[in-house]
Structure 1
Amino acid sequence: MTQPPGNTLTASDRHIDVWLAYYNEISDPGLHAAYRALLTEEERGKEFRFYFPDDQRRYLVTRAMVRTVLSRYLPAVDPRAWRFSNNSYGRPEIANFSSAECGLRFNISHTRGLIALGVTHQRELGVDVENVQTREVSLDIADRFFAAPEVAELATVPKERQQDRFFEYWTFKESYIKARGMGLSIPLGQFSFHYPHERAVHIAIQPELGDEASRWGFWQYRPTKEHLLAVCAERREGGEPSLTLRRVVPLAGEEVVQPELLKTSEASR
């Protein structure tokens, strides 16, 4: 890490920060103890309910990461003071401050080896990250749940690229339903993604969902060879927001990173 943590960041309605933590690299027992000290008693109890050490560490780093990162934008709030609840569809939200009071929006995703946390201001946001090497899936899932144009396009992709293409669709879809705050209550077949060219993405939404494609911007990155990251963010007045990606070890250090940008809705315009 090239920069110690601690400086205050300004949450802007024209900007999104995406924080990346490679939790397997965070092995210092002293840091783990410091993370536990930030959690509520209930959160500490949940850590060791996970059977596998990988899941325990991922949970611990995730909880500490959310608390410490949010306090970077509101330093008057001690990381231990944040309280969270889930909306009716299960999306975590800040419980002890109203949207008007702090304005922060966040979204979390994690997979084997990587945690992603998106933070912005007064803008709906969804983030999804997947490990494309450890999670092999059957394309029957696409046949059952994807929109017909996506299934047809997948069938044209060379077999050795189909898993990657599947996860390109999957991460975009997950980021959208998370930004809507409604999870899998939104049928995956009622919206679809199209690639006008290899660097561009466009969403089409059926009228039943009561939404407009122009409302949303999308980005997709390759943080490592194993991981695929998608971000969906609500467009507001003033145009497309900018993104900064930061690699972080909570309480220890951070650095701005520039992973490969695979696709963006800006390229479709």
Structure 2
Amino acid sequence: MTLTPRDTLVASERHIDVWLAYYHDIADPELHRNYRALLTEEERGKEFRFYFPDDQRRYLVTRALVRTVLSRYLHVQPTDWRFANNRYGRPEIANLSRDECGLSFNISHTRGLIALGVTKHRELGVDVENLRTREVALGVADRFFAKTEVDELATVPKERQQDRFFEYWTFKESYIKARGMGLSIPLGQFSFHYPHERAVNLAVAPELGDDASRWSFWQYRPTDEYLMAVCAERRAEGAPTIALRKVVPLVGEEGVEARVLKTSEGI
């Protein structure tokens, strides 16, 4: 692919960048060594605690991606970032406060692809799934989805049910990740519905203590193989723009034109 120079970027409350790294294509051993040089000793040790080579590569590229991308927005060397998980397991910047750097980021990965969303002063969640390698028993929806979603899923033609399941799943994952609370939020206490083919709306049970109008959603097909959802906090200045970028850390990136499947109404 044609890769562009690595320019400094300006994070904005009005914009979200989603960086896509297809890690199966990043196989150069020298590049992997350069990635390891960016990591802390603890991170380097964790790479080789994964049993399967695919998981080792995914972890290595993920850590290099986060460090190099965040350094595009702030004058911080990739080696200088420090991270910690919040009480629910979401990675966050540890050596700069949110007020100091303003950055919000969220990571998702599936077989073959890592997605990293970055914005400023706005809660953000991203989820990506590989539709070719993942298949679920639809009884999972009966156990975890809201009744309205289960009922709607049952009306979908059988050959489309897997895709529809993952439409719901990616939206749900992006929401709980934006909330920063993961699966501590019961998946059946909020639901998505489609007022028409290109629109999505969120409904939230009162016990969650949230306002559905706080959030905007987008769903993309970066390629035919992958489905991705983005959830972002709404702010007074309106809905942000989104740009997708295909990236090889330490090499370069190019813009991606991806089909938008659904968005929140009013965007």
* TM-score, structure 1 as length reference: 0.98
Name the CA distance, whole Å, in 1 between partners of 2:184 and 2:30.
41
* Structure 2 counterpart of 1:6: 6
Checking the alignment, whether the CA contact within 8 Å between 1:168 and 1:228 is kept in structure 2 is yes
Name the CA distance, whole Å, in 2 between partners of 1:66 and 1:123.
18
The one-character-per-residue Cα deviations of 1:163-185 (angstroms, maximum 9, x if unpaired) are: 00000000000000000000000
Q: Is 1:223 aligned with 2:222?
A: yes
Matches within 5 A, 1:166-185: 166-185=165-184
- Partner of 1:233, secondary structure, is strand
- Partner of 2:19, secondary structure, is strand
- Partner of 1:2, secondary structure, is coil
Checking the alignment, whether the CA contact within 8 Å between 1:17 and 1:246 is kept in structure 2 is yes
Range moving further from structure 2, 48-57 or 144-153: 48-57
Identity rate, percent = 79
- Partner of 1:117, secondary structure, is strand
Name the CA distance, whole Å, in 1 between partners of 2:231 and 2:217.
5
* Structure 2 counterpart of 1:24: 24
Checking the alignment, whether the CA contact within 8 Å between 1:5 and 1:251 is kept in structure 2 is no
* Structure 2 counterpart of 1:119: 118
* Structure 2 counterpart of 1:237: 236
Letter in 2 for 1:130: E
Tell me by how many angstroms 1:132 deviates. Answer: 1.4
- Partner of 1:67, secondary structure, is helix
Name the CA distance, whole Å, in 2 between partners of 1:28 and 1:197.
45
Tell me by how many angstroms 1:260 deviates. Answer: 1.0
The one-character-per-residue Cα deviations of 1:52-94 (angstroms, maximum 9, x if unpaired) are: 11111100000000000000001x2100000000000000000
- Partner of 2:58, secondary structure, is helix
Letter in 2 for 1:245: L
Letter in 1 for 2:57: R
Name the CA distance, whole Å, in 2 between partners of 1:214 and 1:101.
28
Tell me by how many angstroms 1:5 deviates. Answer: 4.0
* Structure 1 counterpart of 2:106: 107
Letter in 1 for 2:139: D
The one-character-per-residue Cα deviations of 1:23-79 (angstroms, maximum 9, x if unpaired) are: 0001111110100000000000111111111111100000000000000001x2100
Letter in 2 for 1:107: N
Tell me by how many angstroms 1:2 deviates. Answer: 3.0
Checking the alignment, whether the CA contact within 8 Å between 2:109 and 2:115 is kept in structure 1 is yes
Checking the alignment, whether the CA contact within 8 Å between 1:17 and 1:243 is kept in structure 2 is yes
Letter in 2 for 1:186: I
Tell me by how many angstroms 1:6 deviates. Answer: 2.4
* Structure 2 counterpart of 1:129: 128
* Structure 1 counterpart of 2:65: 65
- Partner of 1:135, secondary structure, is coil
Name the CA distance, whole Å, in 2 between partners of 1:263 and 1:142.
21
Letter in 2 for 1:70: L
- Partner of 1:193, secondary structure, is strand
Q: Is 1:249 aligned with 2:248?
A: yes
Name the CA distance, whole Å, in 2 between partners of 1:43 and 1:258.
33
Letter in 2 for 1:3: L
Name the CA distance, whole Å, in 2 between partners of 1:2 and 1:121.
28
**Which runs of 5 or more structure 1 residues have no equivalent in the other structure?**
none
4+ residue runs over 2 A deviation = 1-6
Name the CA distance, whole Å, in 1 between partners of 2:114 and 2:89.
18
**Which runs of 5 or more structure 2 residues have no equivalent in the other structure?**
none
* Structure 2 counterpart of 1:51: 51
- Partner of 1:143, secondary structure, is helix
Letter in 2 for 1:105: S
The one-character-per-residue Cα deviations of 1:111-138 (angstroms, maximum 9, x if unpaired) are: 0010000000010000000111111101
* TM-score, structure 2 as length reference: 0.98
Range moving further from structure 2, 180-189 or 4-13: 4-13
Q: Is 1:82 aligned with 2:81?
A: yes
Checking the alignment, whether the CA contact within 8 Å between 2:6 and 2:253 is kept in structure 1 is no
- Partner of 1:157, secondary structure, is coil
Letter in 2 for 1:209: L
- Partner of 2:216, secondary structure, is strand
Superposition RMSD in Å = 0.9
* Structure 2 counterpart of 1:201: 200
